[in-house]
């Protein structure tokens, strides 16, 4: 039996991380303006974004369409240049293309050569990273097993389903054994089994010490695998912190016990002890990440320009 007892509680600092956990990505006061033909600011895609991604964590970048997620990804890769602000990634400026040798990137749409098979595709990307032939062969075999398409290794990609193509896209993002992995909608096009495999793989990569930044509209997936998240709206950072802390309902306390009798249910904690209940857990009830996301977007519409307090 589970009983919820509501009471006020103080909010915690949900952005705290272990001391000494170095940042892999450091963004300071980052702004990006898209300009028209005459060089006049047309769209302000990012506004003074400041955040860090720490080594070994899975970080979720969330927001509705047009919030600045893709712009942030492109700025990290050096595909765009910021209007203002600084980006440090793996200890180098984002504009230093040499850092990309240590990064794996899965775009929202994988643009792969349709007439190559899976082996040829991974060998091609391995050559781009100047991997020796024996290393390319080894990595190709390992990755095809990892993403579970080794049975179709000789088939041309034009014969692949969208889900299988997504798996090969992930394999090519890992061919260089990257330290940092950027995933844009990694579960797009996957069936429920493939979705579970992808989440298991992300967790496995984290266990190997990889740092992962992912964008996704499937909030349940983010809640399952991410350590911390940032929610953007209108190019501004609205919420950032640990997922487990952000989804707690700060204005309520929850008491749970597997041995709680009906007589004890109406009593406060002192009375519970009288009834011999010893396995009491007192914490804050949680909502879902979807509820947090929708609440953040709604409050951002009502109060533009303000950081949301969680």
The domain that holds 232 is classified in CATH as: 3.40.50.300
Let me know if residue 256 belongs to a domain.
no
Q: What is the pLDDT of residues 47-67, one digit of tens each?
A: 999 999 999 999 999 988 888
Per-residue pLDDT at 261: 63
Per-residue pLDDT at 16: 43
> Rounded CA gap, 118 and 120, in Å?
6
Q: Is the pLDDT confidence value at 1 over 90? A: no
pTM above 0.85, yes or no: no
Please count the structural domains in the chain: 2
For residues 169 and 294, state if they share a domain. Answer: no
Answer for the pair 99, 75: CB distance below 8 angstroms, yes or no: no
For residues 102 and 27, state if they share a domain. Answer: yes
pLDDT (mean) for 146-170: 92
Q: Say what percent of the chain tops pLDDT 70.
A: 79
Let me know if residue 233 belongs to a domain.
yes
Let me know if residue 155 belongs to a domain.
yes
Q: Per residue, what are the HEC states of the chain?
A: CEECCCCCCCCCCCCCCCCCCCEEEEEEEEEEEEECCCCCEEEEEEEEEEEEEECCCEEEEECCCCCCHHHHHHHHHCCCCCCEEEEEECCEECCCHHHHHHEEEECCCCCCCCCCEHHHHHHHHHHHCCCCHHHHHHHHHHHHHHCCCHHHCCCEHHHCCHHHHHHHHHHHHCCCCCCEEEEECCCCCCCHHHHHHHHHHHHHHHHCCCEEEEECCCHHHHHHHCCEEEEEECCEEEEEEEHHHHCECCCCCEEECCCCCHHHHCCCHHHHHHCCCCCCEEECCECCHHHHHHHHHHHHHHCCCCCCCC
For residues 145 and 54, state if they share a domain. Answer: yes
> Rounded CA gap, 298 and 306, in Å?
12
The residue range of the domain holding 283 is 262-302
Across all residues in the chain, what is the average pLDDT? 82
For residues 269 and 234, state if they share a domain. Answer: no
Q: Is the pLDDT confidence value at 41 over 80? A: no
Let me know if residue 46 belongs to a domain.
yes
Per-residue pLDDT at 174: 96
Q: What is the pLDDT of residues 222-279, one digit of tens each?
A: 888 999 999 999 899 999 999 888 877 766 666 666 665 666 656 666 666 676 766 6
Let me know if residue 182 belongs to a domain.
yes
Let me know if residue 181 belongs to a domain.
yes
> Rounded CA gap, 283 and 292, in Å?
18
For residues 100 and 232, state if they share a domain. Answer: yes
The last residue of one of the domains, among 220, 247, 274, is 247
For residues 90 and 210, state if they share a domain. Answer: yes
Let me know if residue 144 belongs to a domain.
yes
For residues 48 and 173, state if they share a domain. Answer: yes
For residues 240 and 272, state if they share a domain. Answer: no
Let me know if residue 310 belongs to a domain.
no
Q: Is the pLDDT confidence value at 194 over 70? A: yes
């Amino acid at each position: 039996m589970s009983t919820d007892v509501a009471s006020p509680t103080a909010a915690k600092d949900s952005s705290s991380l272990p001391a000494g956990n170095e940042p892999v990505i450091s963004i300071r006061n980052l702004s990006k303006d898209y300009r028209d033909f005459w060089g006049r600011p047309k769209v302000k895609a990012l506004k003074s974004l400041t955040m860090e991604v720490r080594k070994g964590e899975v970080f979720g970048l969330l927001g509705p369409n047009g919030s600045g997620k893709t712009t942030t990804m492109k700025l990290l890769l050096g595909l765009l240049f910021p209007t203002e602000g600084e980006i440090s990634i793996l200890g180098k400026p984002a504009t230093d293309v040499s850092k990309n040798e240590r990064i794996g990137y899965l775009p929202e749409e994988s643009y792969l050569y349709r007439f190559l098979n899976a082996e040829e595709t991974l060998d091609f990307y391995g050559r781009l990273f100047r991997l020796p032939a024996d290393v390319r062969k080894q990595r190709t075999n390992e990755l095809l097993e990892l993403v579970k398409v080794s049975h179709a290794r000789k088939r041309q990609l034009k014969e692949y389903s969208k889900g299988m193509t997504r798996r090969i896209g992930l394999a090519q993002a890992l061919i260089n054994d990257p330290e940092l992995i950027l995933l844009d909608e990694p579960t797009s096009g996957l069936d429920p089994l493939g979705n579970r495999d992808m989440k298991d793989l992300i967790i496995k990569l984290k266990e190997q010490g990889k740092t992962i930044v992912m964008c996704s509209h499937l909030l349940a997936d983010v809640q399952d695998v991410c350590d911390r998240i940032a929610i953007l709206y209108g190019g501004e950072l609205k919420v950032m912190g640990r997922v487990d802390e952000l989804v707690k309902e700060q204005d309520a306390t929850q008491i749970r016990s597997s041995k709680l009798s009906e007589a004890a249910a109406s009593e406060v904690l002192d009375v519970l002890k009288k009834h011999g209940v010893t396995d009491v857990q007192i914490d804050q009830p949680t909502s879902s990440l979807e509820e947090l996301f929708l609440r953040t977007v709604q409050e951002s519409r009502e109060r533009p320009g303000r950081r949301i307090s969680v």
